[in-house]
């Protein structure tokens, strides 16, 4: 089995945007307007809301990919709202051929609104969600895309942290190993009116927080540091920290406009994504794959830009800041925050997926190496991106050179070891 590329942009600034919420802005003309603007913002990611019955035009997708902007596909359907997997397969396959890597099925499945009135009941809700979700997730994996676990409603009618833990435990019980090995989380990083360090450190720092109850002297996950909580849950269940995409980063959910306060929040969040300590707030960890600001533009004129590309007042400050970063990069400082801040993992030994069949001699060959260096051992390319040093055990058929180059572009030092049993054992012993 060939391990899928994680789809990291060549220069991952971690800056991303939510594109229009309709499907009327996928023309060549739209590319000519938005690609130059996105480049001035240092954009590496763009989230696209996809129609359910047809694909976004190939020219639009490939135009983004050629510009170095990674599309994230989202089908934000209510439960029972998607076409059958077989009907979606030609569209999913096309997206993969055109250069897409990540896709999100469904939206806020822990909210009553996502379910028909006859389908909403908290009894076995998570299991019923998985019955819906897993066929689409499997479809994505079979067609070379990585399914992102859908964003939950923070708090929610079914408390989101409890929903996430139960879902991951159930996926593990259902032996969804390939899906869990490639797990990417998403989370709505809304402010909820809190400061930007609210809830930082997750449940380890705030152990008294409980579903539907936060004592006055503690903090919960309802803030932009929501990933600290989600990743802690995932690590407790799966013993690894999955990459996470922050959606609608810094948004105030009850506000449709972009007042001055949101402008300031966006600038601060951008600096935190870039690995800077800003206004006294600690940077986002490198396990945050991308932060998606909301929205780039809307037909109501409430985005960062009007529909013709005219900017909000604060955009000039953002563009000047990005230009300064680019100048620093040109003088030897790397633009990617993943290489300017510490990776959370020191050394990762990346193995072919178990479905490919790991031979007994390979296990024997790596045992002295693992004993000597104590690397994190796993099968996930995405998880490997979190390491400073990555040792890849496998041929180019199992791990194409394109994947290794993307890992290097993310700031990791990467080496490949391949060959027969004697070659591998010798190479590992010499390290």
Mean per-residue pLDDT of the chain: 86
Q: Are residues 349 and 245 in the same domain?
A: no
Look at residues 140, 146, 177, 235 and name the one whose alpha carbon lies nearest to residue 354: 177
Q: Does residue 84 fall inside a structural domain?
A: yes
5 within domain boundaries: no
Q: What is the pLDDT of residue 370?
A: 82
Cα–Cα distance, 223 to 239 (Å, whole number): 24
pLDDT tens readout for residues 172-193: 999 999 899 889 999 999 999 9
Q: Find where tokens 């593990």 sit.
A: 172
More confident residue, 413 or 146: 146
Give the range with max mean pLDDT: 137-146, 255-264, 408-417.
Answer: 137-146
Number of domains the chain is built from: 2
Confidence of residue 422 (pLDDT cuts 50, 70, 90): low
Q: Are residues 300 and 425 in the same domain?
A: no
- Burial string for 128-151 (b: 16+ CB within 10 Å, else e) reads bbbebbbbbbebbbebbbbbbbbb
**195 found inside a domain:** yes
Residues 114, 117: Cα–Cα separation, whole Å: 9
pLDDT exceeds 50 at position 297: yes
Length of the chain: 431
Asked if residue 323 belongs to a domain, the reply is yes
pLDDT in tens, 305-318: 988 888 888 899 99
Residues 242 and 388 in one domain: no
Provide the H-helix boundaries in 112-225.
125-142, 160-173, 177-181, 202-205
Q: How confident is the model at residue 8 (pLDDT cuts 50, 70, 90)?
A: low
The domain boundary, picked from 322, 339, 356, lies at 339
**Which DSSP helix (H) or strand (E) runs through 86?**
helix 85-97
153 and 25 in a single domain? The answer is yes
Kindly state the tokens that stand for 353: 């997926």
Residue 204 pLDDT > 50: yes
Residue 422 structural domain: 342-429
Window from 8-22, 123-137, 352-366 with minimum mean pLDDT: 352-366
Q: Model confidence at 399, in pLDDT bands (50, 70, 90)?
A: confident
The model's confidence at residue 69, banded by pLDDT at 50, 70 and 90, is very high
- The phi-psi region of residue 320 (left if phi > 0; otherwise alpha if psi is between -120 and 50; otherwise beta) is alpha
Better-predicted residue by pLDDT, 385 or 204: 204
Distance of CA 216 to the CA centre of its chain: 32
β-bridge partners, 336: none
Residues 122 and 270 in one domain: yes
326 and 358 in a single domain? The answer is no
The pLDDT of residue 334 is: 42
Q: At a CB cut-off of 8 Å and minimum separation 6, what does 266 contact?
A: 249, 250, 293, 304, 314, 318
Most confident of 9-18, 217-226, 275-284, 339-348: 217-226
Give per-residue pLDDT as tens, 244-253: 999 999 988 7
Q: Are residues 258 and 131 in the same domain?
A: yes
Q: Which of 65-79, 116-130, 181-195, 250-264 has the lowest mean pLDDT?
A: 250-264
Same domain? 349 vs 332:
no
Residue 199 lies in a domain: yes
Residues 178 and 312 in one domain: yes
Domain termination residue (choose one: 291, 308, 339): 339
Q: Which two tokens stand for residue 340?
A: 């300017």
Looking up residue 373, the CATH number of its domain turns out to be 3.40.50
> Could you tell me if residue 295 is inside a domain?
yes
> How many Cβ atoms are within 10 Å of 259's Cβ, its own excluded?
11
For 59-87, b where at least 16 C-beta lie within 10 A, e where not — what string? ebbbbbbebebbbbbbbbbbbeebeeeee
Could you tell me if 409 and 336 are in contact, meaning their C-beta atoms sit under 8 angstroms apart?
A: yes
Compute the average pLDDT of residues 8-13.
72
**Does residue 91 sit in the same domain as residue 189?**
yes
Tell me if residue 305 falls in helix, strand or coil: strand
pLDDT, tens digit, 9 for 90 and up, residues 320-330? 998 888 776 55
Percent of the residues in the chain that have a pLDDT greater than 70, as a whole number: 86
Residue 72 lies in a domain: yes
The last residue of a domain, from among 339, 362, 394: 339
What pLDDT sits at residue 252?
82
Same domain assignment for residues 207 and 221: yes
- Regarding whether 281 and 180 lie in a shared domain, the answer is yes
Burial 9-31 (b: 16+ CB within 10 A, else e): beebbbbbbbbbeeeebbeeebb
Query: What is the per-residue pLDDT for 147?
Result: 96
Within a domain: residue 10?
Answer: no
Question: Residues 250-272: pLDDT tens digits?
Answer: 988 766 555 556 778 899 999 99
pLDDT mean over 92-109:
96
Share of the chain above pLDDT 90, in %: 54
At residue 341 the predicted structure's pLDDT band, cuts being 50, 70 and 90, is: very low
Check which CATH number belongs to the domain holding 286 and give it.
3.20.20.80
Return the higher-pLDDT residue of 77 and 346: 77
pLDDT at 55 over 60: yes
Q: What confidence tier does 339 reach under pLDDT thresholds 50, 70, 90?
A: very low
215 vs 203: CA distance, rounded Å = 13
- Higher-confidence position of 46 and 356: 46
């Amino acid at each position: 089995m060939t391990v899928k590329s994680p789809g990291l942009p060549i220069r991952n600034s971690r800056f991303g945007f939510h594109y229009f919420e309709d499907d009327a802005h996928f023309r060549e003309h739209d590319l000519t307007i938005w690609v130059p603007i996105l480049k001035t913002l240092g954009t590496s990611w763009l989230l696209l809301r996809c129609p359910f019955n047809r694909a976004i035009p190939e020219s639009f997708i490939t135009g983004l990919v050629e510009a170095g902007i990674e599309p994230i596909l989202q089908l934000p359907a209510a439960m029972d709202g998607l076409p059958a997997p077989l009907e979606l397969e030609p569209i999913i396959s096309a997206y993969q051929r055109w250069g897409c890597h990540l896709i999100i099925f469904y939206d806020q499945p822990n909210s009553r609104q996502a379910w028909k009135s006859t389908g909403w009941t908290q009894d076995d809700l998570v299991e019923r969600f998985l019955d819906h979700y897993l066929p689409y997730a499997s479809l994505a994996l079979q067609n070379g895309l990585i399914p992102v676990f859908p964003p939950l409603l923070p708090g929610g009618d079914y408390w989101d942290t409890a929903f996430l833990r139960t879902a991951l435990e159930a996926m593990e019980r259902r032996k969804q190993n390939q899906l869990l090995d490639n797990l990417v989380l998403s989370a709505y990083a809304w402010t909820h009116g809190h400061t930007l360090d609210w809830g930082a450190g997750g449940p380890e720092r705030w152990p008294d927080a409980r579903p539907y109850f936060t004592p006055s002297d503690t903090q919960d996950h309802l803030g932009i540091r929501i990933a600290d909580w989600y990743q802690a849950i995932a690590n407790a269940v799966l013993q690894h920290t999955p990459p996470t995409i922050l959606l609608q980063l810094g948004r105030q959910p009850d506000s449709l406009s972009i007042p001055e306060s949101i402008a300031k929040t966006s600038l601060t969040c951008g600096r935190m994504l870039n690995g800077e300590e800003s206004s006294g707030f600690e940077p986002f960890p490198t396990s945050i794959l991308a932060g998606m600001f909301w929205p780039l533009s809307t037909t109501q004129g409430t985005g960062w830009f009007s529909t013709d590309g005219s900017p909000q007042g604060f955009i000039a400050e953002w563009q000047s800041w990005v230009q300064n970063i680019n100048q620093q990069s040109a003088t030897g400082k790397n633009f990617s925050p993943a290489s300017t801040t510490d990776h959370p993992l020191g050394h990762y030994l990346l193995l072919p997926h178990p479905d490919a069949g790991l031979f007994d001699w390979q296990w024997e060959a790596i045992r002295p190496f693992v004993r000597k260096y104590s690397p994190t051992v796993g099968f996930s390319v995405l998880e490997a991106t979190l390491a400073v040093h990555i040792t890849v055990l496998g041929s180019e058929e199992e791990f194409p050179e394109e994947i290794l180059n993307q890992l290097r572009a993310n700031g990791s030092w990467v080496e490949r070891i391949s060959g027969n049993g004697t070659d591998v054992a010798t190479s590992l012993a010499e390290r």
